[in-house]
Amino acid sequence: MIVPTRLSRSAWMLIFANLTPIFGVMFLGWSVRSVLVLYWLENVIVGVFNIPKILISDGTTADRISTAIFFLVHFGGFTAIHGAFVFTLFKEPAGSSGAGMAAFYGFSLLSLFLSHLYSFKTNFIGKGEYLDRDPQTQMFIPYGRVVVMHLVVLFGGIMLTKFGSPMPALLLLIVLKTGIDLIAHKLEHSA
């Protein structure tokens, strides 16, 4: 059970980065697809950061390298299939692009990247999490977080698309995803 505690700086960064899509939805007309693609790209970021985590975790060099290669192929395939679903099932509505939208989309993606970078440097390196993790354990950490988050996001996205993408439901989806992400973050870094 997670007991409410003060949030770390990395948790606050995670919250900020996860809530930037609210601005996109409310003021820039982001669609369900816009939000889902952003979250899919975050999945790519999580995988990218997990490779150095595997490579510096506690274990033999051969074990770390072989685990990183396996993760790259397996998680890469998982991510590609998930991306195919997102890009196939959710179409961008007409008239939903523009320079302001693209710039803020880039800002949201950069915020997610910086949040994961900060957590990597502060928690994994700074707090020495890598000292207590073998490559195989580290390889599996992203899966639980990503699977739960993406099931919620995909099923929520399907429901939103089916019911015409009402803004309140899309905002609720963003908040729900943020909460799940925060819980997973706290569980991963609680040891």
pTM attached to this predicted model: 0.83
Whether the Cβ atoms of residue 139 and residue 71 lie closer than 8 Å to each other: yes
Residue 127, token pair as written in the block: 């707090």
Tell me the CA distances in angstroms from 12 to 72, 117, 165, 186, one per residue in order: 29, 13, 28, 11
Q: For the residues 144-167, what does the mean pLDDT come to?
A: 70
CB atoms under 10 Å from CB of 151, counted, come to 11
Give the pLDDT confidence of 19-70 residue by residue, as tens digits: 899 888 888 888 878 888 898 899 999 999 999 999 999 999 999 999 999 9
- Rounded-to-integer distance, Cα 28 and Cα 38, Å: 14
- Residue spans of the domains in the chain: they are 9-188
Whether the Cβ atoms of residue 181 and residue 146 lie closer than 8 Å to each other: no
- Rounded-to-integer distance, Cα 29 and Cα 23, Å: 9
Residue whose token pair is 């993790």: 133
Cβ-in-10-Å burial (0-12, 13-18, 19+) of 163 comes to exposed
Give the pLDDT confidence of 118-138 residue by residue, as tens digits: 999 999 999 999 999 999 999
